[in-house]
Amino acid sequence: FSLFGFIIGIWADGFEKLQVIPLLVITPLTFLGGSFYSIHVLPPVWQTISLFNPIVYLISGFRWSFYSIADVDVGVSLAVAMLFTALCLGLVWWIFRTGYRLKT
């Protein structure tokens, strides 16, 4: 999430834009990511839709590390977390390489 925060910080040119992503994207994904419930209590359609939420995999990994119970396979959770990290790292690398919004 720190890499994602860096990307948002570079993209935002004011406090209004800085709050858009956490308010409209991160908060709903967190609430719908199974942090307060298991995704298995959802109807099958919503279980499938929840699998497109990257927060589900992070929460499932934490739940497995604490309780040895997971909504999603631990290997899949780790792979999705690594993919998200690699995508953010690649984007940060591109930002530094091109100087996007860093140079005037």
Domain range for 16: 2-98
Which pLDDT tens digit goes with each residue over 28-81?
999 999 999 999 999 999 999 999 999 999 999 999 999 999 999 999 999 999
| pLDDT tens-digit readout, 81-98 | 999 999 999 999 999 999
- pTM comes to 0.81
> Which residues have CB under 8 Å from 22's CB, separation 6+?
8
Q: Are 3 and 92 in contact (CB under 8 A)?
A: yes
Number of domain units in the chain: 1
Q: Could you tell me if residue 69 is inside a domain?
A: yes
For residue 40, tell me if it sits in a domain.
yes
